[in-house]
């Protein structure tokens, strides 16, 4: 099932979306193991039947990725 959590990083709100069943999530034809988006974008995802391979990023890694997004740093896929 799709789960969402609210995160606050540097006084900015983000929504973390993931599958609690260990499956990839998808939006606009692109699959992700999880997504962290600025809350104001209101993005929605659907759960796929494709299992996630490997590890999910730690909470610290997730916050670092969100910080990179906020500061315009390119540390990975955008």
pTM of the model: 0.68
The pLDDT, as a whole number, for residue 38 is 96
Q: How far is CA 66 from the centre of its chain?
A: 9
CA angle 36, 42, 46 (to 5 degrees): 70
Structure token pair of residue 45:
């995802």
38 contacts: CB under 8 Å, gap ≥ 6? 12, 13, 14, 15, 69
Structure token pair of residue 35:
């997504």
Whether the per-residue pLDDT at 5 is higher than 50: the answer is: yes
Q: Which residues pair with 26 in a beta bridge?
A: 31, 46
Residues 55-74, mean pLDDT to the nearest whole number: 74
pLDDT tens column, 46-64: 999 999 886 556 677 777 7
Give the residue extent of every domain in the chain. 2-71
pLDDT tens column, 11-43: 999 999 999 998 999 999 999 999 999 999 999
């Amino acid at each position: 099932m799709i789960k969402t959590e609210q995160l606050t990083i540097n006084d900015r709100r983000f929504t973390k979306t993931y599958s609690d069943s260990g499956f990839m999530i998808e939006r606009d034809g692109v699959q992700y193991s999880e997504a962290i988006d600025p809350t104001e974008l209101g993005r929605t995802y659907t759960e796929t039947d494709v299992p996630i391979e490997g590890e999910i990023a730690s909470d610290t890694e997730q916050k670092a990725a969100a910080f990179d997004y906020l500061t315009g740093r390119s540390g990975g896929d955008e």
